[in-house]
Chains A and B, each alone.
Chain A
Amino acid sequence: MSFLIEPVDRLIREFSKLPGIGPKSAQRLTYYLLKEPDEEASALAEAIQNLKKDIRLCSICFNITDRDPCSICQSKERDHSTICVVEKPSDIAPLERTGKYKGLYHVLHGTINPAQGTTTENLKIKELLSRCQNGSVKEVIIATNPNMEGETTSLYLQRILTPLDITITHLARGLPFGSELEYADDMTLNQAIEGRQKFKQ
């Protein structure tokens, strides 16, 4: 039997469903909101409601957007001949933060993971293929994660895109900034040595 009143108990239960939020954190968030002014709670409720109402997938790159096509696909300043393939929408923000990449994106919404039953049917691979077949694309950068599922997806994409006569590249592999050589694994070190670069003059 719950000793909490229904609205409080309900919000705690809803918060507990979120990833990384346990019952204690859910309780803390609920009591925090109770103490806050009404406007704060209303603003949060409205933001949550609008999230599902206004957001959809871009019909070109399948990134999450509030207008279709998304601002990146619509932009005339971006290089429309380069597509960077990422696993999920949240992978775009870090690439954008670098300010180095000016091309378009394509979000696969997952990776090939046969053990969990995720194959090409569940991903936006057919859509990528048809984007690349229209002749305007010159380079596809595969930016899947450097793990087993990401590598499988990358190898599969490489295989289906090769006949299209476009340049296929993948992100460089090596040591992350701030890491220590002593603790790097052999695979990463191998790739770091193979991909070593001359100092820029």
Chain B
Amino acid sequence: MSRPRNYQTQAIVIKQIKIGEFDKLLTLYTAEFGKLKAIAKGACRPRSKLGGNVEPLTYSSMSIARGRNLDIITQGQIIDGFPELKAELWNISCSFYIQELVDLFTMENSANPTLFELLLETLHQLPKATNKETVLRYFELHILNCSGYRPQLQKCVRCTAPLKSTTNFFSPREGGILCPLCAEKEYGAYPISATALKTMRLWETCDCDTARRVKLRPALASELAQILQNYIKYLLQKESKSISWLEELKRSSFDNPPRTH
């Protein structure tokens, strides 16, 4: 959808880069236009009218003027600043990862309202969830679906035979599950337990609120994390930087470690 000369949109700020002394280059995610890049002039000045309205992890209503190279944000008004999300270290760190995935999986000016809804819903669900990892896994699975990389979980991706309730194999290269027979010829496929497959199938169809109520054993949680993150790493051809930070946080021996399972 092409953008008019001056337009209004509701956007979630997913990334910022400081330009010069007072300006910011923002990466926005909108329902109507997808990913956009726009300049917030003077946003770093203490008396800026944009200031807090265009901070990362803020859902704002914005007036934007189309520029020759980059669009310019002229006004901003917060719809939701996600204060609970920003008040807790584990929440804020998870949202860094979510924002990075949205940035990496999307192209500019390609609208994807489903992905926008998913992002907004995940940012709302994250502070409510006692098990943040489940919300992250749900988000990973659904961003794959929204971006056209939905893994085939119903039948063998190669021979199309129905999958038996046993240990099958996940192939990032094939983008789905392989039956044990087909997996023998596939390099780089790793085992996926019947329970992990069932959980992924459930998450594919349920909403985020239901997904976050699913209780996972630690072994199952780490199996699902490994499967989804290896698939994402294969697709993006690089490791997410924020996931390393989440790992570092988990490793840190805090008195009250984040609940991961």
Binding site for B on A (CB under 8 A): 19-20, 112, 114-117, 119-120, 147-148, 151-152, 155-156, 159-160, 162-163, 176, 178-180, 183-188, 190
Contacts and interface: CB of A to CB of B under 8 A. Distances in A.
A114 B93 contact: yes
B15 A115 contact: yes
A105 B76 CA distance: 36
B248 A120 contact: yes
Contacts of B97: 114
Interface residues of B, number: 36
B96 A114 contact: yes
B55 interface: yes
Interface residues of chain A: helix, strand, loop or mixed (majority) = helix
Contacts of B252: 160
A152 B52 contact: no
B81 A186 contact: yes
A146 to B, nearest CB: 8
Interface string B46-60: 110101110111100
A163 B92 contact: no
B68 to A, nearest CB: 17
B52 A188 contact: yes
A114 B245 contact: yes
Interface stretch (B82-90, B121-129, B179-187): B82-90
B57 A119 contact: no
B80 to A, nearest CB: 9
A73 to B, nearest CB: 28
B99 to A, nearest CB: 7
A115 B241 contact: yes
A187 B248 contact: no
A125 to B, nearest CB: 11
A114 B96 CA distance: 7
Contacts of A115: 15, 96, 99-100, 241-242
Contacts of A155: 87-89, 92
Interface string B239-252: 00110111010001
